Structure 1
Amino acid sequence: MPAPQEPIDRRAIPPAARESTFALADGHAIRRIDWPGAGGGQRGSILFLPGRGDFYEKYLETLEQWHRAGWRVTAADWRGQAGSGRLGNDAVTGHVDDFSDWTADLAHLWTAWKAATPGPHILAGHSMGGHLVLRALVDGLVAPDAAILSAPMVGMAGPPLPLGVLHAAARLMTKVGKPTRPAWKWSEKPGEMPADRSDLLTHDGARYADELWWREQRPELVMGPGSWGWVERAYASSRRLEERGAMEKVHVPVLVVSTSADRLVSHASAVRAARRLPKGELIAFGDEARHEILREIDPVRERALAGMAEFLDRVAPQENP
């Protein structure tokens, strides 16, 4: 009978994990965190990318669980987020010149990471991270053995208007003012989290509080609204994904995990993506799950993680067991 495992402290870097930096192609340094993998990572390796305004500290619990399951685990910031600098004109607005900047960074990290880790190699992303993983797959920049997309931002929740109309409106907003200016209001008091923000993310109050704790402990992680430039480029990238034949040429097994109660990204778009991908699969939640499925109440998390494990055991079995 295996010995019981120690509980996971969501407010501490796990003992087996190591934080460091990684130099991108142009020398820009991003933060990363690595677990060597229980038993040397005999199960394989997972590279996880978080969402817009996110940081890897929010996912320590899930990353540690993967590590304990035998995976060699890595997570990293996106350029311009969390502790990896900013690309706009202030310390809190999330900006990017183009989403292809991020997918190029991902391709660079992927190449170095894959060469240094045991297979099978899995690429996972949450929300905007899921969008960028899918975009990199569509553009042929990465070739994992399988991919997992958690609440992917294939489309954004919002007005039920055609994507082209939404993109045109966002493009206009980048012309009538600076593209780096915030696209929405953060809160009544700058720097404070909106009172109803937790209602968008998770039913689990304790896990939501963990994020606020990490922001207090590491102020460099704090990020507020996206810029109008980010919004316009997000719509442009979504149009790339929606192109005829784009997803259909991706032959990597992809698991999409999404919830119909999501008010930040489009569940319908995620479901459609799972259907368009030749080897796409879907785990769908309802009112029991909000946007941050991996930070939800235990029954939701357990179902999501069990589904991911079953998917990976089937499509990316352990090499040379």
Structure 2
Amino acid sequence: MTLAAAPFFEDLPGVPAGGRAHWLTTEDGVRIRLGHWRPAGPATGTVLMFPGRTEYVEKYGDCAREFTARGFAFAAVDWRGQGLADRLLPDKRVGHVEKFTDYQHDVAAVTAAAVELDLPRPWFVIGHSMGGAIGLRAILQGMPVAACAFTGPMWGIYFNTVMKPLSWVTAYWGSRIGLGNRIPPTTSLLSYVASQPFENNVLTRDPEMFQMMKDQLAAQPDLALGAPSTTWLREALDECRWLMAQTAPDLPCLTVMGSHEQIVDREAIRARMAAWPGGDLVEIPDGEHEVLMEPPEVRGPVFDLMAALFDAGSRRHENNGTTIQA
């Protein structure tokens, strides 16, 4: 794989120094972006961050700081259709994918780039929200990681009792009548973070983190994304149904979600983790969707738990004397 330097916004609020970014081209010809940081000393391994829908590399600057301080290299990706990656519709405000499995082309490109960049082994994955669905499929299909963690993973999508039937009808009939590239009813082309106040937001209880997200998008509005397309919604619902029908992988796993989660389906997460041998579920009292961006007294212990899981995975990797093949 040929890696080309990509823009990296080190001057944005919350982004630590020392990061680099590269353009990657997937096997189906889509350009995506990978950002990465390395620790000051020898690395225990590399944490591959799989972000959620609407997210981008620099949003995870604080996570990079936390993990590099704990001795891990850290990388995050702009999935197709968001961040600085290729947007897939003429209206760049709409999040879109033709098939949810297309994200696996992005995973393959990230894995190949991790090899080329010699990101330290073993590798670990954290999947947040939509990235939790992408990550779980990747693991089920053999992604070479030693352990995994998820935060508010999209293994089901939350709808209230009023919106659920409308959303399902929209998702499965909209594309049939030529509305697949339109956004679902009641959604907006405006970025949620950029357009909503902190009060009553569904992402975090930390006003400083929420303001950081706002400030990042104000400084770099090209990173912003609005609602998903109807096609994306249909594909996401189908992917969640497929994922929930699969047997849990034989891999150490920690999943963390907020008890006040309002974006993904809490019951789907509980059901998946109840059937995951060796998997642990931690629920954050009154926590919202972005558990890695909750107040310091909440997110700090979560980082500690993940680092402990990954440290154990690194020790197993060393004791087994194995090399994980990409």
Structure-1-length-normalised TM-score: 0.86
Contact 1:40 1:72 in 2 (8 A): no
Q: Residues of 2 paired with 1:66 and 1:95: CA distance?
A: 31
| Consecutive aligned runs of 4 or more in structure 1 exceeding 6 Å deviation | 163-166, 188-191
Gaps of 5+ in 2: 1-9, 320-326
Where in structure 1 are there 5+ consecutive unaligned residues? 1-7
The residue that corresponds to 2:91 in the other structure is: 90
Q: CA deviation at 1:85?
A: 2.1
Equivalent AA in structure 2 for residue 306 of structure 1: D
Q: Which amino acid aligns with 2:239?
A: S
1:247 maps to what in 2?
247
Displacement of 1:273 in angstroms is 1.2
| SS of 1:104 mapped into structure 2 | helix
Task: Return the match for 2:305 from 304, 307, 320.
Answer: 307
Indicate yes or no: 2:125 matched with 1:130. Answer: no
Shift of 1:24: 1.8
Question: Structure 1 CA distance, aligned partners of 2:57 and 2:263?
Answer: 19
Query: Which residue number corresponds to residue 78 of structure 1?
Result: 79
Match of 2:324 in 1: none
In 2, Cα distance between equivalents of 1:188 and 1:100: 24
Displacement after TM superposition at 1:168 (Å): 5.8
| 1:265 corresponds to | 264
Q: Which residue of structure 2 aligns with residue 220 of structure 1?
A: 222
1:28 to 6, 25, 30: 30
Q: CA deviation at 1:123?
A: 1.1
2:288 is the alignment partner of 1:286: no
Deviates more, 1:263-272 or 1:277-286: 277-286
**In the aligned structure 2, how far is the partner of 1:258 from the partner of 1:228?**
26
Alignment correspondent of 1:62: 63
Q: Which residue of 2 aligns with 1:19?
A: 21
Give, in whole Å, the separation in 1 of the partners of 2:234 and 2:292: 28
Q: Which amino acid aligns with 2:143?
A: V
Distance 1:118 1:197, change over 3 A: same
Partner amino acid, structure 1, of 2:272 = A
Corresponding residue of 2:109 = 108
Residues 48 and 229 of structure 1, relative CA distance in 2, 3 Å threshold: same
Count of equivalent residues:
307
* Aligned-partner residue type, residue 146 of structure 2: D
Answer whether contact 1:151 1:265 (CA < 8 A) is retained. Answer: yes
- The 2-side partners of 1:280 and 1:261 are apart by 21
Task: Trace 1:178-193 onto structure 2 (pairs within 5 A).
Answer: 178-186=179-187, 193=195
Contact in 1 for aligned 2:94/2:229 (Cα 8 Å): yes
Whichever residue aligns with residue 122 of structure 2, its letter is: P
Percentage of matched positions with identical amino acids? 27
**Cα distance between partner residues in 1 of 2:176 and 2:186:** 19
The whole-number CA distance in structure 2 between the counterparts of 1:91 and 1:188 is 9
1:59 and 1:50 map into 2 onto residues whose CA distance is 8
C-alpha contact (below 8 Å) 2:68/2:74 kept by paired residues: yes
Partners of 1:188 and 1:239 in 2: how far apart? 27
Across the aligned residues of Structure 1 and Structure 2, the Cα RMSD in angstroms comes to 2.7
Which amino acid is 1:120 matched to? P
- The one-letter amino acid paired with 1:173 is G
- Give TM-score, length-normalised by structure 2: 0.85
The AA in structure 1 aligned to 2:278 is: K
Q: Deviations over 1:74-128 (max 9, x none)?
A: 1111011111121123010101001100023212322441462222210112110
Aligned to 2:296: 298
Q: Contact 2:24/2:109 (CA < 8 Å) preserved in 1?
A: no
Q: CA deviation at 1:278?
A: 2.7
Instruction: Provide the rounded CA distance (Å) in 2 between the counterparts of 1:155 and 1:187.
Output: 21
Secondary structure of 1:142's counterpart equals coil
Residue 230, structure 1, aligned to residue 232, structure 2: yes
Change (3 A) 1:102 1:294: same
The aligned counterpart of 1:3 is none
Match of 1:208 in 2: 210
1:318, distance to aligned residue in structure 2 (A): 7.6
Moved more, 232-241 or 310-319: 310-319
Q: How far off is 1:184 after superposition?
A: 4.1
The offset of 1:190, in angstroms, is: 8.8
